[in-house]
Amino acid sequence: MTNQDDRILIFDTTLRDGEQSPGATLNGDEKLAIARALARLGVDVIEAGFPIASRGDFEAVQRIAGEVGIEGGPSICGLARAMKGDIEAAGKALAPAFNPRIHTFIATSDIHLEYKLRKSRKDVLAIAPEMVAYAKTFTDNVEFSPEDAGRSDPEFLYQILEAVIDAGATTVNIPDTVGYTTPAEFGGLIKGIKENVPNINQAIISVHGHNDLGLAVANFLEAVKHGARQLECTINGIGERAGNAALEELVMALHVRRQYYNPFLGRPADSEKPLTNINTKEIYKTSRLVSNLTGLSVQANKAIVGINAFAHESGIHQDGVLKNKLTYEIMDAKSIGLTDNQIILGKHSGRNAFRTRLSELGFDLSDNDLNKAFLRFKDLADKKKEITDWDLEAIVKDETQQPPELFRLELIQVSCGDNAQPTATIRIRTPDGQELTDAAIGTGPVDAIYKAINRVADVPNELIEYSVQSVTAGIDAIGEVTIRLRHDGKIYSGHAANTDIIVASARAYVNALNRLYASTNGLTEDAVVSSVETVAL
């Protein structure tokens, strides 16, 4: 494989690095839904997971490989440490894919060698090509990453890259693992690799980076100018710590400013040919799906996909946009699939219109899930005059994408006021079928509910986040609640939406408890976790 110069490959790691965002754990069905959305989006590679990490991860990668990694679809990739067991697990999980890729890595910075691996440079220089060669026995499509490349000695980096390419690596990925480099430094690193690795033309240069200093996208765009032709990114920029480079920002930067970037790819400056294979009209839909399934809300002022990205409040801006959008908008909202022309559904809308609109929003529901969502829609339509797309997304998430219902909330009743002690009464059906009722007082109605639930459920946990946001405008808006609980160092999220924010708060808490209880009692496919360390290239 030679280094291609006329197009940028998009490698999406939402399902691997993105899922490592605290509280963003996805089950197998949710991973498959996102993988299908990524295929529609047009990504070149989907890093579906870390197969050795758990039985659930292995099965999810295997399922995505078989159902999404078909001929003509994206390459499906699995991550593996430079260890035979990891590589073998990845090879087996990826076997159903038409074009599988094994992505193996080992650290190369002196700080990682000394404190994490406790190995010498000589040791790593021997291990890396040997493991790349072993990965080649499973697939010809092998990617190698020198972890913490951004803080590695460039001369050592050149040696190890040359060795792994000789061993058969077709992609070499340069990760800024800790988000430390600046654009000039990162661009210089890629330039140095192009100039000092003799066989670099036999592999594609990829980049992976974290956003600890808010520079990940800028670093990647600088890397493109110096020869990087694959960008490893996530939807909404989710991932470890401050996250990864955001796919939507990279793609739209290359789209809007293609006249600037064209010459770096050997094209005429005025070429209109897209720089990536991404169908930009799928961006917003995919962003919403990932946000809904992970429970990680997109900040209002987030570039490209934030709700304020195409909003104007300043009178001067409003006047200019009304006269000509180009005065204050550098891209058309329709280019990312966002439109103001929504079908407004109401209580007289039928099942077919409901199914059609969900399909347009990117949701492909089974008949059972559709029925549950439709009943909830009808219930909401009796309370609201108009149901918007935001409401529909909240309904789908709240009704169809939940963990096993182990604890079931049967009753919520609260009493509060400025001169009253907030009190909550709840009734819960437990996993063994008992119906238990309890009451508690708290600093407010939500606090009282949570105290009562904890007394009944008796599942130790620490509440570390409680957030509420309005899904739509107006006094009858759906309120969406996100909860994060910590137990034994792991974080479990819960989500719920309702026009009654107290009800949503209670359901979200029980939702999180169900995830926690299922995981700690081995009741879900994703619950069996090995001792593999969390990886953030």
DSSP string, 246-287: BHHHHHHHHHHTHHHHGGGGT--TT--S-SS---GGGHHHHH
| Joined tokens for residue 58 | 């292995």
Q: How many whole angstroms separate alpha carbon 293 and alpha carbon 314? A: 34
Q: How many whole angstroms separate alpha carbon 11 and alpha carbon 208? A: 9
DSSP string, 391-446: HHHHHHHHHHS----SSEEEEEEEE--TTS--EEEEEEE-TTS-EEEEEEE-SSHH
| Joined tokens for residue 150 | 């951004």
pTM higher than the cut 0.85? no
pLDDT at 162 over 90: yes
What's the whole-number mean pLDDT along residues 288-301?
86
The structural domains of the chain, ordered by start, are: 9-294 (3.20.20.70), 309-337 (no CATH), 351-400 (no CATH), 408-520 (3.30.160.270)
Q: How many residues make up the chain in this entry? A: 537
Say what the pLDDT of residue 403 is.
61
In the chain, what percentage of residues exceed pLDDT 70? 88
Q: Where are the beta strands (DSSP E) in 33-141?
A: 45-49, 75-81, 100-107
Q: How many whole angstroms separate alpha carbon 164 and alpha carbon 171? A: 10
Highest mean pLDDT among 242-246, 394-398, 471-475 belongs to 242-246
- The amino acid present at 311, given as its one-letter code, is A
Say what the pLDDT of residue 322 is.
58
Window from 174-183, 277-286, 361-370, 499-508 with minimum mean pLDDT: 361-370
Of the two residues 458 and 165, the one the predictor is more confident about is: 165
Say what the pLDDT of residue 106 is.
97
- The SS3 call for residue 53 is helix
Say what the pLDDT of residue 3 is.
44
What's the whole-number mean pLDDT along residues 475-494?
81
Q: How many whole angstroms separate alpha carbon 326 and alpha carbon 324? A: 5
Four-CA torsion 441, 447, 451, 454, nearest 10 degrees: 160
Q: How many whole angstroms separate alpha carbon 288 and alpha carbon 247? A: 13
The conformational region for residue 293 under phi > 0 = left, psi -120 to 50 = alpha, else beta, is: alpha
Q: How many whole angstroms separate alpha carbon 276 and alpha carbon 12? A: 13
How far is C-alpha 173 from the chain's CA centre?
Answer: 20
Q: Name the nearest CA neighbour of 129 among 106, 95, 152, 100.
A: 106
Quickly state the pLDDT bin for 100 (edges 50, 70, 90). Answer: very high
For 275-289, how does the pLDDT look when each residue is reduced to its tens digit (9 = 90+)?
999 999 999 989 988
pLDDT at 393 over 80: no
Q: How many whole angstroms separate alpha carbon 322 and alpha carbon 458? A: 57
Quickly state the pLDDT bin for 526 (edges 50, 70, 90). Answer: very low
pLDDT at 153 over 80: yes
In the chain, what percentage of residues exceed pLDDT 90? 60
Q: Name the nearest CA neighbour of 21 among 188, 251, 244.
A: 244
Say what the pLDDT of residue 292 is.
79
Q: How many whole angstroms separate alpha carbon 213 and alpha carbon 348? A: 50
For 347-390, how does the pLDDT look when each residue is reduced to its tens digit (9 = 90+)?
777 888 788 877 766 677 788 888 888 888 888 788 766 677 76
For 247-275, how does the pLDDT look when each residue is reduced to its tens digit (9 = 90+)?
999 999 999 999 999 999 999 999 999 99
Q: Give how far Cα 529 sits from Cα of 57, 92, 502, 508, 534, Å.
A: 9, 18, 34, 24, 11
The mean of the pLDDT values for the chain is 88
Query: In this structure, are strands 462-470 and 435-441 parallel, antiparallel, or unpaired?
Result: unpaired
Say what the pLDDT of residue 536 is.
57
44: Cβ contacts below 8 Å, ≥ 6 apart: 9, 10, 11, 74, 75, 230, 277
If DSSP states are collapsed to H, E and C, what string results for 453-477?
Answer: HHHHHCCCCEEEEEEEEECCCCCCC
Highest mean pLDDT among 142-151, 334-343, 355-364 belongs to 142-151
Quickly state the pLDDT bin for 444 (edges 50, 70, 90). Answer: very high
Say what the pLDDT of residue 402 is.
59
For 44-69, how does the pLDDT look when each residue is reduced to its tens digit (9 = 90+)?
999 999 999 999 899 999 999 999 99
For 208-220, how does the pLDDT look when each residue is reduced to its tens digit (9 = 90+)?
999 999 999 999 9
What's the whole-number mean pLDDT along residues 3-18?
88
What's the whole-number mean pLDDT along residues 315-341?
68
Beta bridge partners of 493: 484
Judge contact between 24 and 18, C-beta under 8 A.
Answer: yes
Say what the pLDDT of residue 529 is.
36
- The SS3 call for residue 185 is helix
